[in-house]
C-alpha cells in the first residue's frame, strides 16, 4: 500500500507493541475503537522477544541442569550431565516464537491493524508512519504512547564486542567460562545466577551495599547464600571505572574501599537500569508533551498527558519498569478513552526477581506501613515447616506478612522460596480486596501445597500457629 499526503482516519493510534501497547490495542478494539498499532520491531516488545520471556526460558533450563546434577537426593542417579547450549537456545527461541505468534494472532482476531515501522507526530491529531516501503499518514482521535525502554549504556562501557547488554547476553551462542556483571539489580542477579548454574564463573560488581536493593533484606540474604553455592562472587560498594577488551576477553577495573582492582572474564554484562524511549524522532517536543527531567512523560491517574487525547503507559511514565504494570496501565488508558471511569492504583503491583530462591513482594514493607501511619507488625513463617516444600527438597525460604495490629488488615507480603512468583498472587488479591489476617487464616488451603504457608503465616500473626511454636508475647 502506498499512501500520499491524504490522511487515513482511525480512532486510536498505539505506538509500541510491547506488553503495554498490544494489551492497550486489544482492549481498545474490544471497546469498539478502530485501532492501529505501530512498532519498528516485533510484536511483543522487549518483554517477549529480548527480556522477560527468553530470560525465564534460559533460567528454567539452568534449573533443569542443576536439578539433574543433584538428583541423588531423590535416589536418582544421573551420569555425565551435559548442556547442549545450542539446543537450549533453540528451546528459548521456540518459546518466544509461540508467544509472539500468539500475540500477532490476538491482534488480528481483534481486528487491530498492525504497521511495522516507525512513527512520528505531525500534530496532536496526526502522525506519519514509515518504513522502507511506505509512509502513510494517520489522523487519530486518541493516541497511546507505549514505546518502552532500552538498557542504559554507560559511557565507560559502550555496548559492543565483549561488552554486552541483556539483549546480547540472552543470545550468546555458548556458555561463557567467566562473566563480569556490573549491576546487581534483578536483571543482573537473574542472569548472573543463571550462567553460574551452567558453570560460568560469575563476578557481580554492585555499587550499593547489597544486591537486589529494594527487596526485603532477609530475602536478599537467602539469594546471596544460594549464589555463593554456585561460586558467584558478589562485590558490593564497588565502582566500575573502565574496561579494556581483546578478541578473547575483557578486563574491568573497579574501585572498592579506596583500592583499585581488576577482574578479567570472557564477557562483561552491564545491567544498570533502563532508559525510556522518548528521546528519538517521535516528535514529543513538536507537539508539546510535558516531560520530567528523567525523560519520562507526565501523566495523570488515567495515563493522560497534558494533551487530553494523548496517553502514555509503561516504561515511559513514572514507576517500576515492569511488564505487568504496563499491561495494567494499557487497559486503564483504553478504558479511559472509551469513557470508562478507570484509574490506576499502584497499591498492589507485585515485584518479582526470578533468582534462586525466587523473591516476590507486594504491598508495603513494615517500614513503609509505619510511615503511612499504620501500627504495623510482621509475621514470618519458614518454608521448612511445609510438607510440600520438604518433599520437593527445596525448603529454603519464608513468607512474611505485614499487617496492621489494630485492624488485622493485610498491608504487604514478601516471599522468598520456590514458586514465590506464583504464591504472591494470592496476597495481591488479599490486599486489593481489603482482606484481614482472619480472612486468609480461615480460607482452607489444599494439602500438601506451598500455598499452605500463606495460611500458616496468617495463623502465626494471629497468635495461634499450628506448625511452629508460637512466640511468647
The answer to whether 319 is a known ligand-binding residue is: no
The answer to whether 183 is a known ligand-binding residue is: yes
The answer to whether 185 is a known ligand-binding residue is: yes
| Domain covering 357-462 in this structure, CATH number | 3.30.390.30
What does the angle CA 378 – CA 379 – CA 381 come to, to the nearest 5 degrees?
Answer: 145
Query: Distance between CA 159 and CA 167 in Å, rounded?
Result: 10
The answer to whether 184 is a known ligand-binding residue is: yes
Query: Distance between CA 56 and CA 357 in Å, rounded?
Result: 14
How high does pLDDT run on average in the chain? 96
The answer to whether 16 is a known ligand-binding residue is: no
Identify any residues that bridge with 13 across adjacent strands, giving them in sequence order: 36, 143
The answer to whether 206 is a known ligand-binding residue is: yes
Residues tagged active-site: 447
Burial class (CB in 10 A: 0-12, 13-18, 19+), 16: buried
pLDDT in tens, 308-360: 999 999 999 999 999 999 999 999 999 999 999 999 988 899 999 999 999 99
Fold of the domain built from segment(s) 7-151+275-346: FAD/NAD(P)-binding domain (3.50.50)
- Asked whether residue 289 carries a pLDDT value surpassing 70, the answer given is yes
34: pLDDT confidence band, cut at 50, 70 and 90?
very high
Query: Distance between CA 453 and CA 384 in Å, rounded?
Result: 10
- Asked whether residue 369 carries a pLDDT value surpassing 70, the answer given is yes
Q: For CATH 3.50.50.60, list the domain ranges present in the chain.
A: 7-151+275-346, 163-272
The answer to whether 56 is a known ligand-binding residue is: yes
pLDDT of residue 473: 63
The answer to whether 300 is a known ligand-binding residue is: no
pLDDT in tens, 182-241: 999 999 999 999 999 999 999 999 999 999 999 999 999 999 999 999 999 999 999 999
The answer to whether 426 is a known ligand-binding residue is: no
pLDDT in tens, 134-180: 999 999 999 999 999 999 999 999 999 999 999 999 999 999 999 99
pLDDT of residue 280: 82
Q: What is the mean pLDDT of residues 274-301?
A: 95
The answer to whether 175 is a known ligand-binding residue is: no
The answer to whether 65 is a known ligand-binding residue is: no
Nearest Cα neighbor of 181 from 197, 161, 165, 199 is 165
- Strand pairing of 137-145 and 126-130? antiparallel
Nearest Cα neighbor of 85 from 178, 202, 170 is 170
Nearest Cα neighbor of 135 from 315, 3, 296, 13 is 3
pLDDT in tens, 384-425: 999 999 999 999 999 999 999 999 999 999 999 999 999 999
Does CATH place domain 163-272 in 1.10.10.1200?
no
The answer to whether 149 is a known ligand-binding residue is: yes
Share of the chain above pLDDT 90, in %: 94
- Asked whether residue 4 carries a pLDDT value surpassing 70, the answer given is no
Contact criterion met (CB below 8 Å) for 218 and 267: no
Amino acid at each position: 500500500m502506498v499512501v500520499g499526503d491524504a490522511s487515513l482516519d482511525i480512532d486510536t493510534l498505539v505506538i509500541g507493541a510491547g506488553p503495554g501497547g498490544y494489551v492497550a490495542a486489544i482492549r481498545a478494539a474490544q471497546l469498539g475503537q478502530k485501532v492501529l498499532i505501530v512498532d519498528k520491531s516485533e510484536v511483543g516488545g522487549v518483554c517477549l522477544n529480548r527480556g522477560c520471556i527468553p530470560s525465564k526460558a534460559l533460567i528454567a533450563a539452568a534449573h533443569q541442569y542443576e536439578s539433574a546434577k543433584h538428583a541423588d537426593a531423590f535416589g536418582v542417579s544421573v551420569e555425565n550431565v551435559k548442556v547442549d547450549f545450542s539446543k537450549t537456545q533453540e528451546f528459548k527461541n521456540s518459546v518466544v516464537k509461540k508467544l509472539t505468534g500468539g500475540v500477532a494472532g490476538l491482534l488480528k482476531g481483534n481486528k487491530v491493524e498492525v504497521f511495522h515501522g516507525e512513527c512520528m507526530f505531525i500534530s496532536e491529531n496526526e502522525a506519519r508512519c514509515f518504513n522502507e516501503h511506505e509512509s502513510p499518514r494517520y489522523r487519530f482521535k486518541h493516541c497511546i504512547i507505549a514505546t518502552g525502554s532500552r538498557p542504559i549504556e554507560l559511557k565507560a562501557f559502550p555496548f559492543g564486542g565483549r561488552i554486552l547488554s541483556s539483549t546480547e547476553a540472552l543470545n550468546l551462542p555458548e556458555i561463557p567460562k567467566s562473566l563480569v556483571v556490573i549491576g546487581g539489580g534483578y536483571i543482573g542477579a537473574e542472569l548472573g545466577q543463571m550462567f553460574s548454574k551452567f558453570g560460568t564463573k560469575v563476578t557481580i560488581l554492585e555499587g550499593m551495599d547489597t544486591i537486589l536493593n529494594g527487596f526485603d533484606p532477609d530475602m536478599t540474604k537467602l539469594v546471596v547464600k544460594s549464589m555463593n553455592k554456585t561460586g558467584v562472587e558478589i562485590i558490593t560498594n564497588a565502582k566500575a571505572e573502565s574496561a579494556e577488551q581483546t578478541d578473547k576477553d575483557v578486563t574491568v577495573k573497579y574501585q572498592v574501599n579506596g583500592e583499585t582492582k581488576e577482574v578479567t572474564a570472557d564477557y562483561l554484562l552491564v545491567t544498570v537500569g533502563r532508559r525510556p524511549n522518548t528521546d528519538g524522532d517521535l516528535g514529543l517536543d513538536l507537539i508539546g508533551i510535558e516531560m520530567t527531567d528523567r525523560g519520562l512523560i507526565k501523566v495523570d491517574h488515567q495515563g493522560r498527558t497534558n494533551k487530553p487525547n494523548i496517553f502514555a503507559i509503561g516504561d515511559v511514565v513514572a514507576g517500576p519498569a515492569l511488564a505487568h504494570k504496563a499491561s495494567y496501565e494499557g487497559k486503564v488508558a483504553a478504558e479511559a478513552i472509551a469513557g470508562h471511569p478507570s484509574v490506576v492504583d499502584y497499591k498492589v503491583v507485585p515485584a518479582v526477581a526470578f533468582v534462586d530462591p525466587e523473591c516476590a513482594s507486594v504491598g508495603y514493607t513494615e517500614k513503609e506501613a509505619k510511615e503511612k501511619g499504620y501500627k504495623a507488625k510482621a509475621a514470618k513463617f519458614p518454608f521448612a515447616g511445609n510438607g510440600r516444600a520438604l518433599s520437593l527438597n527445596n525448603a529454603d525460604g519464608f513468607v512474611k506478612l505485614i499487617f496492621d495490629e489494630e485492624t488485622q488488615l493485610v498491608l504487604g507480603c514478601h516471599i522468598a522460596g520456590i514458586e514465590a512468583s506464583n504464591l504472591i498472587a494470592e496476597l495481591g488479591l488479599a490486599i486489593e480486596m481489603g482482606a484481614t489476617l482472619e480472612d486468609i487464616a480461615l480460607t482452607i488451603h489444599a494439602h500438601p501445597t506451598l500455598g499452605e504457608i500463606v495460611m500458616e503465616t496468617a495463623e502465626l500473626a494471629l497468635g495461634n500457629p499450628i506448625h511452629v511454636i508460637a512466640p511468647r508475647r
